[in-house]
C-alpha cells in the first residue's frame, strides 16, 4: 500500500492534487485544509497517503499531517461514512476543531458540515468520542490533558490495539511516565502495561 508520496506538485485544486513521482502522476483526493498548505505547482510536495481499495478502483487520499490522516481513518471506520464523505467532513472542520466537536458531543456543529445529518453526527460522536486524542490547545486555553508525545501516542495505539479502553490506557501512560519509564517505546510500553487494570 502507498503510505507516502514525495514528488513535484503538478496541479492542485481544493479537493485534488496531482503529484509527479519519478515520472508517474498520482491523482490524490485531498481535504481543503491540505490544499491550503500546499505550495505552488512545480514545487516539491510530501503527502501522507491512505490507499483505499475497492473491487473496481484504487483511490489515493492525501493529507498534510499525520493527525489529519489518523482522523480520516477513524472517520471511515464509522458506519455510513465513506472516504468521500470523510474528506468533506475534514474540509468542513479542521482536524483539531473536528476532534473537539466530537469529544464534546457538539452535534449541532457537526450537522453544519455538508453531507452530515443528525444521525451521522450522532454516530460519529458515539463511535469516536473515546478514540480521538484531544488536540493541544493553540489559543492559550488549557488542554484537557497534557499533550502526548509521539512515543506516548505510539504506546497508546499499542495499548488500544490490545483492547484497553482509552481512559485506562492514557492513565497507564501517565503513571508509567511518573514512575520514570524513560523515553523509549519498549520500556514505556512494558511499564504502562503494569498499570493497566
pLDDT, averaged in runs of 10, over the chain (197 residues): 93 94 96 91 96 91 92 93 93 89 92 91 92 61 56 83 78 84 82 80
Q: Residue 144: what pLDDT? A: 46
Q: Which CATH architecture has domain 4-63?
A: Beta Barrel (2.40)
Q: pTM of this prediction? A: 0.69
DSSP summary character for residue 110: H
Report the run of H or E that residue 12 belongs to, with start and end: strand 4-13
SS3 readout for 18-55 = EEEECCEEEEEECCHHHHHHCCCCCCEEEEEEEEEECC
Residues in the chain, total: 197
Question: What stretch(es) of the chain map to CATH 1.10.150.20?
Answer: 66-128
Q: What angle do CA 110, 111, 114 make, to 5 degrees?
A: 105
Rounded Cα distance, 80 and 124, in Å = 10
CATH number of 66-128: 1.10.150.20
Expressed in angstroms, the distance from the first to the final Cα of the chain is 36
Counts for the chain of helices (H) and strands (E), in that order? 9, 5
Half-sphere exposure of 29 (CA within 13 A, CB side): 16
Question: What stretch(es) of the chain map to CATH 2.40.50.140?
Answer: 4-63
Rounded Cα distance, 196 and 25, in Å = 47
Rounded Cα distance, 23 and 31, in Å = 24
Residue 39: φ, ψ to 5°? -75, 180
Q: Residue 132: what pLDDT? A: 83
Rounded Cα distance, 61 and 139, in Å = 29
Q: Residue 137: what pLDDT? A: 47
Question: What stretch(es) of the chain map to CATH 1.10.8?
Answer: 150-195
Q: Quick check: 72 and 63 in contact, CB under 8 A?
A: yes
Fold of 150-195: Helicase, Ruva Protein; domain 3 (1.10.8)
Rounded Cα distance, 72 and 60, in Å = 12
Amino acid at each position: 500500500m502507498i503510505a507516502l508520496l514525495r514528488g513535484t506538485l503538478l496541479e492542485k485544486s481544493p479537493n485534488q492534487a496531482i503529484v509527479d513521482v519519478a515520472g508517474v502522476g498520482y491523482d490524490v483526493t485531498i481535504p481543503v485544509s491540505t490544499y491550503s498548505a500546499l505550495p505552488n505547482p512545480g514545487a516539491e510536495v510530501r503527502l501522507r497517503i491512505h490507499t483505499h481499495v475497492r473491487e473496481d478502483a484504487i483511490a489515493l487520499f492525501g493529507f498534510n499531517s499525520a493527525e489529519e490522516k489518523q482522523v480520516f481513518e477513524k472517520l471511515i471506520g464509522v458506519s455510513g461514512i465513506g472516504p468521500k464523505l470523510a474528506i468533506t467532513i475534514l474540509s468542513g472542520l479542521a482536524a483539531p476543531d473536528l476532534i473537539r466537536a466530537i469529544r464534546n458531543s457538539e452535534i449541532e456543529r457537526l450537522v453544519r458540515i455538508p453531507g452530515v445529518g443528525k444521525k451521522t453526527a450522532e454516530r460519529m460522536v458515539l463511535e469516536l468520542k473515546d478514540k480521538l486524542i484531544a488536540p493541544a490547545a493553540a489559543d492559550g486555553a488549557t488542554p484537557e490533558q497534557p499533550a502526548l508525545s509521539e512515543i506516548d501516542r505510539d504506546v497508546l495505539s499499542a495499548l488500544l490495539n490490545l483492547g484497553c479502553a482509552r481512559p485506562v490506557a492514557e492513565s497507564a501512560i501517565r503513571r508509567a511516565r511518573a514512575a520514570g519509564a524513560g523515553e523509549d517505546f519498549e520500556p514505556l510500553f512494558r511499564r504502562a502495561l503494569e498499570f493497566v487494570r
